[in-house]
């Protein structure tokens, strides 16, 4: 069914983002390669294999050509005999490996047999979904002389791609879907191969197909059932229905199976606009339904300013500012001075961790009570930034709290294996505590030492027994919240994770127990893990807090910051002014 839907999608989006001459997608009903939409029209010339190539080198060339998915991997099929090309099922799988090594098993004048042995790093599933994967992989290929040239006459189904070549041929883009409340957009990372001109059709098609399975129960999709594209997606000059060569903007005409209220229309537009804008496809975005404007208020097209309220990159951190936990109390870190906050957290003296709400108005804190009763060693409290706090619960262990998007709800892991959700009634200050369903986490390990909700509240990043996992936050029909579809997000971490936080909605920063590379940045689909500069950090790095612009860490000596806007060669950890030489824990909203 998935392949059948993809074939229909290819036909409905056959006119790509070109003006005057629209290139069409393949009209064949043959299944397309795993993880891709077709990117080049049939008949497009493809460079043939180099003449006189030795068989082992031809195998390497074949693997390299396999990163081009156009026309059912036409580039790679040229390395096969005609008989093998007719049988090869390139859509069976797409395995991404670190580096291909070929070992010769036998060779005669007419035949050569090679075994490929590799370490897997991931696989690419239908819809461009990357899944991290480790382990070894082995495949045998047989080559035969055909008219004096070596060609592959036997090989397994599926595609093998070296990681470096994959990253060069594919681009990571985000589809955006509304969170359940409709307040913001949630990213769904996909890997796409094709030119910028073809990108719009692919992204809109994937939006219509919907979110990946693990995310589907946690988000909305206003481009779902009954939505299709009418005719070509074209460039527009900003006036509805007007098309012109070389003019800016995008024009898309939809057919929608049901009526939409104003809120739904706005979310429909926001999904498209943030998805295309995030892929560097400029507006204005002229969105039509059966030839008429989606919304009469936007006859000349939409811009990102029109959907700013759902901006997935929006953050309140800049207005709240940096804070720090120092000597058991919360301080505000300003450019000129560091001062205790005016409420309970500023004078506590025994706080082990603190979390500020996203608007900065409420503080959740875990206090070390020094109570001789182990069951009451730590106390979770919640209260206004400028006032006193109300106790919520006591426990032997409580992780650093983390806030939902509504500024009234926190989550924390208790005793290593229980997750609680605490809701504060803003007018009365009363709290209610509910357990989160963590049944899906049980097979992963026994102890949760870190739990951080994404800024959209739809995902949770966790450290369980020193390993990093990502789960989806779902509200069940019973009203209970659950952590579902957990998966390892950094299987190649190599060292015990100590702390983590969300840099933005699709990237996590992890501090690990490693003196050479103590801090790494990981994409939530597990496709990339990049080392951050070690600089002048002193292991261990015990805490990390992050925003889209800056990472903050606490190492064995002080608090450091890393500015993401610095040029790559100049990115260095610098001590935070006001906290120079002091042991403290950085605190950002969330």
pLDDT at 180: 94
Q: Digits of tens for pLDDT over the chain (590 positions)?
A: 333 333 333 323 232 222 332 222 222 223 333 444 444 444 456 788 999 999 999 999 999 999 999 889 999 999 999 999 999 999 999 999 998 887 888 899 999 999 998 999 999 999 999 999 888 999 999 999 999 999 999 999 999 999 999 999 999 999 999 999 999 999 999 999 877 778 999 999 999 999 999 999 999 999 988 899 998 888 865 343 333 333 468 999 999 988 889 999 999 999 999 999 999 999 899 999 999 999 999 988 999 999 999 999 877 655 888 999 999 999 999 887 899 999 999 999 999 999 999 999 999 999 999 999 999 999 999 999 999 999 999 999 999 999 999 999 999 999 999 999 999 998 898 999 999 999 999 999 999 999 999 999 999 999 999 999 999 999 999 999 999 999 999 888 888 999 999 999 999 999 999 999 999 999 999 999 999 998 889 989 999 999 999 999 999 889 999 998 887 777 899 999 989 888 999 999 98
CA distance 189 to 22: 27
Inter-residue contact 109 to 145 (CB < 8 Å): yes
Give SS3 for 67: coil
The pLDDT score that the predictor gives to residue 239 is 40
Q: What is the pLDDT of residue 316?
A: 61
- Phi/psi zone of residue 386: left (φ > 0), alpha (ψ -120 to 50 degrees), beta? alpha
Closest CA to 457 of 217, 185, 216, 211: 185
Residue 4, both tokens: 């059948």
- Which pLDDT value is given to residue 172? 95
SS3 307: helix
The tokens describing 515, both together, are 């003196």
CB-side exposure of 172: number of CA atoms within 13 Å?
A: 16
**∠ CA 390-394-399, rounded to 5°:** 95
Question: Starting at the edge strand that comes first in sequence, how are the strands of the sheet with 402-403 ordered?
Answer: 402-403, 409-414, 418-424, 431-435
Could you give the angle at which helices 55-65 and 70-77 cross, rounded to 10 degrees? 170
Q: What is the pLDDT of residue 492?
A: 82
Buried-exposed string 29-53: b where 16+ CB fall within 10 A, e elsewhere: eebbbbbbbbbbbeeeeeeebeeeb
CA-nearest of 483, 494, 477, 497 to 543 is 497
Domains of the chain: 49-169 (3.10.450), 175-310 (no CATH), 317-587 (2.120.10.30)
Residues 513, 520: Cα–Cα separation, whole Å: 11
Contacts of 469 (CB under 8 A, 6+ apart): 441, 444, 461, 462, 463, 486, 487, 488, 489
Would you say 365 and 376 are in contact if contact means Cβ atoms under 8 Å apart? no
The pair phi, psi for residue 145, each rounded to 5°, is -75, 125
Residue owning tokens 């080392």: 531
And the tokens for 383? 């209260």
Q: What is the largest CA-CA distance in the chain?
A: 86
Distances (CA, A) of 102 to 12, 63, 122, 139, 541: 42, 11, 20, 10, 41
Beta bridge partners of 237: none
- Residues 6 or more apart whose CB falls under 8 angstroms from that of 169 comprise 67, 68, 161, 193
Query: What pLDDT, on a 0 to 100 scale, did the predictor assign at position 318?
Result: 59
Identify whether the C-beta of residue 334 lies closer than 8 Å to the C-beta of residue 328: no
Q: 556 and 540 in contact (C-beta within 8 Å)?
A: yes
Pairing outcome for strands 402-403 and 409-414: antiparallel
| Phi and psi angles of residue 551, each rounded to the nearest 5 degrees, phi first | -105, 140
- Look at the block and give the residue holding tokens 């260095």: 572
Concatenated DSSP letters for 198-210? HHHHHHHHHHHH-
Ramachandran assignment for 243, one of left (phi > 0), alpha (psi -120 to 50 degrees), beta (any other) = beta
pTM: 0.87
| Burial degree of 260 (CB within 10 A; 0-12, 13-18, 19+) | middle
The closest alpha carbon to 12, from 226, 266, 247, belongs to 226
CA-nearest of 99, 129, 135, 221 to 523 is 129
Q: In whole angstroms, give the CA distance from residue 316 to residue 322.
A: 11
Torsions phi, psi of 303, nearest 5? Answer: -125, 170
């Amino acid at each position: 069914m998935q392949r059948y839907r993809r074939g229909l999608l290819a036909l409905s989006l056959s006119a790509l983002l070109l003006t005057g001459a629209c290139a069409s997608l393949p009209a064949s009903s043959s299944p397309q390669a795993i993880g891709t939409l077709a990117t080049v029209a049939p008949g497009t010339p493809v460079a043939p294999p180099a003449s006189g190539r030795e068989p082992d080198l031809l195998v390497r060339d074949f693997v390299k050509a396999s990163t081009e998915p156009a026309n059912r991997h036409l580039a790679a099929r040229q390395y096969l005999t005609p008989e093998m090309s007719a049988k090869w099922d390139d859509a069976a799988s797409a395995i991404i490996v670190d580096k291909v090594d070929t070992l010769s098993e036998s060779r005669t004048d007419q035949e050569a047999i090679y075994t490929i042995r590799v370490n897997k790093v991931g696989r690419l599933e239908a819809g461009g979904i990357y899944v991290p994967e480790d382990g070894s992989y082995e495949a045998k290929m047989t080559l035969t002389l055909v008219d004096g040239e070596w060609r592959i006459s036997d090989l397994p189904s599926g595609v093998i791609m070296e990681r470096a070549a994959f990253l060069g041929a594919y681009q990571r883009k985000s589809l955006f879907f509304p969170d359940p409340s409709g307040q913001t957009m949630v990213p769904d990372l996909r890997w796409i191969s094709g030119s910028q001109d073809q990108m719009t059709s692919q992204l809109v098609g994937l939006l219509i197909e919907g979110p990946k399975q693990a995310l589907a129960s946690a988000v909305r999709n206003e481009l779902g059932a009954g939505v299709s594209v009418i005719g070509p997606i074209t460039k527009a000059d900003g006036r509805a229905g007007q098309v012109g060569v070389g003019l800016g903007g995008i024009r898309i005409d939809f057919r929608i199976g049901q009526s939409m209220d104003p809120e739904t229309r706005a979310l429909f537009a926001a999904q498209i606009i943030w998805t295309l804008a995030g892929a560097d496809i400029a507006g204005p975005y002229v969105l039509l339904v059966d030839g008429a404007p989606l919304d009469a208020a936007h006859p000349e097209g939409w811009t990102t300013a029109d959907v700013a309220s759902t901006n997935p990159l929006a953050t309140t951190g800049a207005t709240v500012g940096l804070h720090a936990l120092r000597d058991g109390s919360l301080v505000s870190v300003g450019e000129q001075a560091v001062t205790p906050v005016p409420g309970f957290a500023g004078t506590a003296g025994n706080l082990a961790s603190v979390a500020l709400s996203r608007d900065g108005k409420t503080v959740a804190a875990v206090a070390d009570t020094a109570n001789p009763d182990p069951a009451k060693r730590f106390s979770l409290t919640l209260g206004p930034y400028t006032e006193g706090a109300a106790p919520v619960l006591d426990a032997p262990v409580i992780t650093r709290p983390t806030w939902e998007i509504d500024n009234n709800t926190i989550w924390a892991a208790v005793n290593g294996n229980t997750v609680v959700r605490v809701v504060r009634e803003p007018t009365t200050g009363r709290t209610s505590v509910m357990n989160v369903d963590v049944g899906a986490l049980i097979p992963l390990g026994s102890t949760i030492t870190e739990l951080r909700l994404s800024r959209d509240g739809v995902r949770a990043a966790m450290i369980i027994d020193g390993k990093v996992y990502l789960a989806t936050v779902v509200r069940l029909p019973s009203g209970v919240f659950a952590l579902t579809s957990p998966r390892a997000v950094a299987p190649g971490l190599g060292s015990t994770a100590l702390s983590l936080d969300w840099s933005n909605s699709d990237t996590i920063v992890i501090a690990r127990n490693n003196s050479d590379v103590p801090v790494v940045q990981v994409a939530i689909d597990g496709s990339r893990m990049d080392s951050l500069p070690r600089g002048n950090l002193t292991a261990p790095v015990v805490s990390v807090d992050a925003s889209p612009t800056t990472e903050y860490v606490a190492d064995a000596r002080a608090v450091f910051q890393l500015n993401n806007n610095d040029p790559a060669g100049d990115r260095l950890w610098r001590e935070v002014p006001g906290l120079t030489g002091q042991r403290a824990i950085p605190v950002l909203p969330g």
